[in-house]
Amino acid sequence: MLQEEVRRELISILGSEHFKDDPQSLVTHSYDGTPMLQSLPDAVVYPSSTEQVSQIMKVLSRHKIPVVGRGSGTNLCGGTVPVQGGVVMVMHRMNQILEIDLENLTATVQPGLNTKQFSTHVESLGLFYPPDPSSMSISTIGGNIAECSGGLRGLKYGTTKDYVIGLEAVLANGDIIRTGGKLMKDVAGYDLTKLLVGSEGTLAIITEATLKLVPPPRYKKTMLAMYKDLYGAARTVSKIIENRIIPATLEILDNATIRVVDDFAKLGLPLDMEAILIIEQDGDEEAVERDIAIITEVCKSEKADQVSIAASQEEADKLLTARRSAFTALARLRPTTILEDATVPRSKIADMVIEINRIAKKHQVQISTFGHAGDGNLHPTATTDARNKEEIERVDEAFEEIFEAAIRLGGTITGEHGVGMVKSPFLEWKVGPAGMEVMKAIKSSFDPHNLLNPGKVFAKETRKRVVIQRG
Amino acid sequence: MANGQTEQMNALTEKLRLRLDEDQLTNCMRCGFCLPACPTFSETGLEAESPRGRIALMKAVTDGIMVPDQAFEDQMNHCLGCRACEPACPAGVQYGQLIEQARDAIEDHKEHKTWVKVTRKAAFKTVFPHQKRMKWVGRGLKFYQKSGLRNVAHATGAMKLFPKHMRDMEKILPDATGQGVVEQIGERHPAKGEKIATVALFRGCIMDVLFTETNIHTVDLLTAAGFEVVIPRDQNCCGALHAHSGEAEGARDLARRNIKIFKEAGVDYIVSNAGGCGALLIEYDHLLHEDPQWRDDAVWFAKRVVDISDLLVRAGRRLDFSQDNTPGDAEPVRITYQDSCHLRNVMRSADAPRKLMRQVEGAQFIEMKNADRCCGSAGIYNITQPEMAGQILDHKMEHVEATGASYLLTSNPGCLLQMKHGIEEQGLSGQMKAVHIVDFLHERMKK
Write the CATH number for A45: 3.30.43.10
Bridge partners of B364, per DSSP, are B334
Asked which of A146-150, A188-192, A198-202, B108-112 is least confident by mean pLDDT, the reply is B108-112
* Residue B241 · residue B103 · CB < 8 Å: no
Three-state secondary structure of chain B: CCHHHHHHHHHHHHHHHHHCCHHHHHHCCCCCCCHHHCHHHHHHCCHHHCHHHHHHHHHHHHCCCCCCCHHHHHHHHHCCCCCCHHHHCCCCCCHHHHHHHHHHHHHHHCCCCHHHHHHHHHHHHHHCCCHHHHHHHHHHHHHHHHCCHHHHHHHHCHHHHCCHHHHHHHHHCCCCCCCCHHHHHCCEECCCCCCCEEEEEECCHHHHHHCHHHHHHHHHHHHHCCEEEECCCCCCCCCHHHHHCCCHHHHHHHHHHHHHHHHHHCCCEEEECCHHHHHHHCCHHHHCCCCCCCHHHHHHHHHHEEEHHHHHHHHCCCCCCCCCCCCCCCCCEEEEECCCHHHHHCCCCCHHHHHHHHHCCCEEECCCCCCCCCCCCCCCHHHHCHHHHHHHHHHHHHHHHHHCCCEEEECCHHHHHHHHHHHHHCCCCCCCEEEEHHHHHHHHCCC
- Quote the number of domains for chain A: 4
Q: Are residues A464 and A345 in the same domain?
A: yes
Q: Are residues A72 and A108 in the same domain?
A: no
> Residue A470 — very low, low, confident or very high, per pLDDT cuts 50/70/90?
very low
Q: Are residues A357 and A298 in the same domain?
A: no
User: Average pLDDT for residues A397-418, to the nearest whole number?
Assistant: 96
- Contacts with B94 from chain A: Cβ below 8 Å: none
> Residue A182 — very low, low, confident or very high, per pLDDT cuts 50/70/90?
very high
* pLDDT of B231: 97
Distance from CA of B75 to the nearest CA of A (A): 9
Q: Are residues A464 and A337 in the same domain?
A: yes
* pLDDT of B386: 86
Q: Residue A468: pLDDT above 60? A: no
Q: Are residues A203 and A308 in the same domain?
A: no
* pLDDT of B108: 84
Boundary (domain end) residue, out of A328, A343, A371:
A328
* pLDDT of B423: 95
* pLDDT tens for each residue of A289-318: 999 999 999 999 999 999 999 999 888 888
* pLDDT tens for each residue of A23-82: 999 999 999 999 999 999 999 999 999 999 999 999 999 999 999 999 999 999 999 999
> Residue B242 — very low, low, confident or very high, per pLDDT cuts 50/70/90?
confident
Q: Are residues A335 and A448 in the same domain?
A: yes
| CATH code of the domain covering residue A117 | 3.30.465.10
> Residue A20 — very low, low, confident or very high, per pLDDT cuts 50/70/90?
very high
Q: Are residues A434 and A339 in the same domain?
A: yes
Boundary (domain end) residue, out of A294, A328, A362:
A328
Q: Residue B113: pLDDT above 90? A: no
Distance from CA of B368 to the nearest CA of A (A): 18
Q: Residue B442: pLDDT above 50? A: yes
* pLDDT of B1: 47
Q: Residue A463: pLDDT above 90? A: no
Q: Are residues A117 and A195 in the same domain?
A: yes
> Residue A223 — very low, low, confident or very high, per pLDDT cuts 50/70/90?
very high
Q: Who contacts A469 (Cβ-Cβ below 8 Å, separation ≥6)?
A: none
Domain that holds residue A393: 330-470
User: What residue type is A65 in one-letter code?
Assistant: I
Question: What is the distance between the alpha carbons of residues B258 and B253, in angstroms, rounded to a whole number?
Answer: 9
Boundary (domain end) residue, out of A90, A110, A144:
A90
| CATH code of the domain covering residue A292 | 3.30.70.3450
User: Average pLDDT for residues A113-120, to the nearest whole number?
Assistant: 97
| pTM metric for this prediction | 0.89
Q: Are residues A312 and A344 in the same domain?
A: no
* pLDDT of B157: 61
A174: left (phi over 0), alpha (psi -120 to 50) or beta: left
Q: At what angle do helices B3-19 and B95-109 cross, to 10 degrees?
A: 140
Assess A121–B contact: CB distance below 8 Å, yes or no: no
Mean pLDDT of chain B: 89
State the burial class of residue A148 (Cβ atoms within 10 Å of its Cβ: 0-12, 13-18, 19+): buried
- Contacts with A28 from chain B: Cβ below 8 Å: 46-48, 50, 53, 56-57
Q: Are residues A351 and A457 in the same domain?
A: yes
* Residue A170 · residue A57 · CB < 8 Å: yes
* pLDDT of B5: 64
Q: Residue B440: pLDDT above 60? A: yes
| CATH code of the domain covering residue A341 | 3.30.70.2740
User: What residue type is A128 in one-letter code?
Assistant: F
Distance from CA of A433 to the nearest CA of B (A): 34
Q: Which of B21, B33, B44, B62 to mutate to test the interface with A (most CBs of A within 10 A)?
A: B33
Q: Are residues A291 and A419 in the same domain?
A: no
* Residue B206 · residue B183 · CB < 8 Å: no
- Contacts with B92 from chain A: Cβ below 8 Å: 328, 331-332
Q: Are residues A309 and A354 in the same domain?
A: no
Q: Which of A24, A40, A120, A136 to mutate to test the interface with B (most CBs of B within 10 A)?
A: A24
Q: Which of A157, A155, A368, A132 is nearest to A279 (CA)?
A: A155
Distance from CA of B53 to the nearest CA of A (A): 5
* pLDDT of A471: 40
* pLDDT tens for each residue of B314-329: 999 999 998 766 556 6
* pLDDT tens for each residue of B351-405: 999 999 999 999 999 999 999 999 988 777 877 888 898 899 999 999 999 999 9
Q: Residue A5: pLDDT above 60? A: yes
Q: At what angle do helices B51-62 and B70-78 cross, to 10 degrees?
A: 140
Tell me what ipTM this predicted complex has. 0.94
* pLDDT of A355: 95
User: For residue A94, what is the nearest residue in chain B, using CA coordinates?
Assistant: B45
Question: What is the distance between the alpha carbons of residues B272 and B275, in angstroms, rounded to a whole number?
Answer: 7
User: Average pLDDT for residues A328-353, to the nearest whole number?
Assistant: 92
Q: How many CB pairs under 8 A join A and B?
A: 87
- The C-alpha angle with vertex B104 and arms to B103 and B110, in degrees rounded to 5, equals 85
Q: Which of B258, B272, B155 is nearest to B206 (CA)?
A: B272
Q: Residue B198: pLDDT above 50? A: yes
